[in-house]
Chain A
Amino acid sequence: MSSAAPIEPPVLVRVLAPVGRVFLGFLAVVGSISVFTFRALTHCVTPPFYWRLTLRQMMDIGYYSLPVVGMTAIFTGMVLALQSYSGFSRFSAEGAVATVVVLSMTRELGPVLAGLMVAGRVGASMAAEIGTMKVTEQIDALTTLSTNPFKYLVAPRLIAGFLMMPLLVLVADSIGVFGGFLIGVNKLNFNPANYLTRTFEFLELKDVVSGLVKAACFGFVISLMGCYHGYNSRGGAQGVGTATINAVVSALMLILIFNYVITELFFSQ
């Protein structure tokens, strides 16, 4: 009789099998992202280069993200000043407000908040655009026209993300500090000259540089996730939608993870 019921696997196997499957799936994704990154990087450094496209992406990531990032930065700077003032007044340390604002902005909040905003804006649009090109065979068409899609689509976005995020964060830092200054002077009655002196008194180059390193790293990750998920989308509109969600969510997670790693590298003794 061959129609006997299949042998029941032991309980342990039944519990562990899905865990193993998830783990293997995770490894597969990590592997495929690594291969994608490696391919993309080699195309970033070998000609031909598409300068016009890179410039357009730089405009898109840098210039057009300014309003969103600026708004985020100014309110964050303002809130920081208010919060640290009311907190620090409990032990009469109000004088530290300016220092707290500038250190928090340059080291943490500038890069992280700008990264999160840009991930939502730029990462999503990259994934949607490349994903649509993928499912409508436009990427295949590029190949048949002797144009490498990695060079034409991926490399300009990676380069633009990597270069523009630090500039964007530099602007965000300044606007954030300015927001703190506004509140400090107008609402908390600091002397303007005094507040500014306090701002730069304890600021070290390392504080700003670590923030910019984070920014460059986040910019690269945002573009990479947008391109990777767009490039690997399949199906139709739904596939592009999924790719967009995955691009944004994975970029947000990676930003938070890399933020910790870079902080650890810079500031742990």
Chain B
Amino acid sequence: MSAPPHLKIHVSDLHKSFGRKVVLDGLDLDVARSESVVVIGGSGSGKSVLLKCILGLIRPDSGSIQIDGRDVTDLRGSERDELMLKFGMLFQGSALFDSLTVWENVSFGLIQARGMDRDAARETAIAKLAQVGLAPDVGMLYPAELSGGMQKRVALARAIAADPEIIFFDEPTTGLDPIMGDVINDLIVKCVKELGATTLSITHDLASARKIAHRIAMLHEGKIIWSGPVASIDRSGNPYVDQFIHGRAEGPIQMQVSR
């Protein structure tokens, strides 16, 4: 059963548990070509796990994942490496290589996987760093010498360095000041508009979500319980979504805390 041709990413009936903890429980999600989808959901609801399943970093228990109409759920080895050329990923914790300098981090995919020569790769890296508001001399530093927000921006530059077709952003604006956060929002919008990239982002920042998303999907208890155009988020008619976007402690979503 193949996905419709306009779909870039087609996830169906995805299940994933860690031990007895069910994280994804029959999740379905479609992302069209050049569409920007934002996934929202409570902390620990499995958003990062979802991205890692699509990337093949975590093997799902069952379900299928199709990229460009091709089933990639069980893809391994060099085929997987090849598929990854289409992807860029910003990790929630940045995941920069701490033994390499900043510019080597940013140009890693260009040099290692695409065989670009080092001088050209350095130029590209410095241009990408400029796009995320970092000066060229930052390129010579090591990740440990940067602030958390700077690390996040370097990781962002690394994710978009090779102009991938599909980019995943796991909380791109968390830890940034509001102004820099908006610069990053603009950058993500630009990736979609100018490069035609397909993006799947995770954020807790609704202002950011409204700006970058075409469509918002809400993940709760292992399923996408609501998804719709960004304009309709305020009148979704879904009590879970309402509670989430208004940030109310009372409502159908029960946080596991003792009061």
**Residues of A that sit less than 8 Å from B by CB:** 129, 132-133, 136-138, 140-148, 152
Given A136-B93, A137-B93, do A144 and B98 touch, yes or no (CB 8 Å)?
no
> Closest chain A residue to B108 by CB distance?
A145
Interface of A is mostly: helix
**A141 in complex: contacting residue of B56, B97, B99, B113, CB < 8 Å:** B97
Q: Are A147 and B55 in contact (CB under 8 A)?
A: no
Q: Which of A141, A142, A147 has the most CB of B within 10 A?
A: A141
**A140 in complex: contacting residue of B52, B85, B98, B113, CB < 8 Å:** B52
State the Cβ distance, B43 to closest chain A Cβ, in Å: 18
**B95 interfacial by beta-carbon distance below 8 Å:** yes
Q: Are B113 and A145 in contact (CB under 8 A)?
A: yes
State the Cβ distance, A190 to closest chain B Cβ, in Å: 50
Q: Are B97 and A138 in contact (CB under 8 A)?
A: yes
**B85 in complex: contacting residue of A138, A141, A142, A146, CB < 8 Å:** A146
Q: Are A140 and B84 in contact (CB under 8 A)?
A: no
State the Cβ distance, A123 to closest chain B Cβ, in Å: 18
Q: Range of interface residues on chain B?
A: 20 to 34
**B196 interfacial by beta-carbon distance below 8 Å:** no
B78-119 interface bits toward A, Cβ cutoff 8 Å, 1 = contact, 0 = none = 101110110111010101111100000000110011000000
> Which residues of chain B have C-beta atoms less than 8 A from A141's C-beta?
89, 91, 95-97
Q: Are A144 and B97 in contact (CB under 8 A)?
A: no
State the Cβ distance, A55 to closest chain B Cβ, in Å: 15
CA distance A252 to B204 in the complex (A): 48
State the Cβ distance, B18 to closest chain A Cβ, in Å: 11
Q: Are A146 and B109 in contact (CB under 8 A)?
A: yes
CA distance A166 to B96 in the complex (A): 35
> Closest chain B residue to A150 by CB distance?
B77
State the Cβ distance, B3 to closest chain A Cβ, in Å: 22
**B57 in complex: contacting residue of A129, A140, A152, CB < 8 Å:** A140
Q: Are A138 and B108 in contact (CB under 8 A)?
A: no
> Closest chain A residue to B112 by CB distance?
A147
B60-89 residues at the A interface, CB under 8 angstroms: 77-78, 80-82, 84-85, 87-89
Q: Which of A129, A132, A133, A140 has the most CB of B within 10 A?
A: A140
Question: Can you name 13 A-B pairs with beta carbons within 8 Å?
Answer: A129-B99, A133-B97, A140-B57, A140-B95, A141-B91, A144-B57, A144-B84, A144-B87, A144-B88, A145-B108, A146-B85, A147-B81, A148-B81
